[in-house]
Amino acid sequence: MKEIIQRNFDLSPAKYDEYERLTGRFASLASRLYHEMAARAAVPLETVLDAGAGTGISSEEITARGATPIALDLSHRMLGSNPAADRVQGDFDQIPFVSDSFDAVAFTASLFLTPKPDRAVTEARRVLCSGGTVGAVVPLGWRTKAGEDVFEQLSRTSRSPTDADAVERALRTEFDIETGRWSFETSPNALRAFHSVPAMAARLYPKEEPSERIRRANELLTEVDEPLEQHWRWFVGT
């Protein structure tokens, strides 16, 4: 599973950044998550492990708030364009840092990508200093304005290794949790651009080769023509 996730993200930086230029979605998520974490932190967020840092959208948001991100990602290619001074290729299920290293661990759109979030959460607890803060943001899906799930309407399942409930259960084993939801108005074009990212098209057609899964995702989504909402759940643990 891990190798598949890594391979899918290794193919994804260009399309991932194209989607971000269109929507600014990951910058919004990282910025909001940081805000929620800072509001509850017992110690100032100076050194932040950006767990699943990708191309650096979340790392840049952490830097913009005056903190220092340490970028950790499974995918060497995603990490390639990350501007953080400290970048480490590695697995957040086995964080390659000693205990008590960070004021915060931020999982911006990443914790649901591991099949066993309890391991990542235990690791986050271990590398946090006393009074440290954890944050995570997890997708809840794409809906029409009437509240209908887009993929249910299309009779297609969109899968991630772990869902928001499993992430919440894992976080509650180690932290006191506060949680909430965010909704973003979005468009059919953004939905198609998202599923033109090889790692995202794999949510719909995991068994197909990258070009074929993107072709099929675009074919499936071609008829979607109404305004949409994208929903996310955030968690902050102390």
Q: Does 19 bind ligand SAM (CB under 6 A)?
A: no
The residues in 29-88 that bind ligand SAM, with binding defined as CB under 6 A, are 30, 52-54, 57-58, 72-75, 78
Q: How far is the CB of 145 from ligand SAM (least distance, A)?
A: 25
The count of chain residues that interact with ligand SAM, using the rule CB under 6 A, is 22
Closest CA to 192 of 160, 210, 214, 159: 214
H/E stretch holding 40:
helix 25-40
Which CB, 114 or 196, lies closer to ligand SAM? 114
Q: Does 11 bind ligand SAM (CB under 6 A)?
A: no
Taken as a whole, the chain contains a residue count of 238
Which CB, 140 or 144, lies closer to ligand SAM? 140
Whole-angstrom distance, CA of residue 35 vs CA of residue 32? 5
Contact 187, 24 (CB under 8 A): no
Question: Which residues lie below 8 Å from residue 121, measured CB to CB, with a gap of 6+?
Answer: 111, 134, 170, 171, 173, 174, 175
Q: How far is the CB of 25 from ligand SAM (least distance, A)?
A: 9
Instruction: Work out the burial of residue 67: count CB atoms within 10 Å of its CB; fewer than 13 is exposed, 13-18 middle, 19 or more buried.
Output: buried
Which CB, 92 or 232, lies closer to ligand SAM? 92
Binding mask 93-132 for ligand SAM (x = CB under 6 A): x--------------xxx--xx------------------
Query: How much helix, strand and coil, in percent to the nearest 5, is found in the chain?
Result: 40, 25, 30
Q: Which residues bind ligand SAM (CB under 6 A)?
A: 5, 9, 26, 30, 52-54, 57-58, 72-75, 78, 91-93, 108-110, 113-114
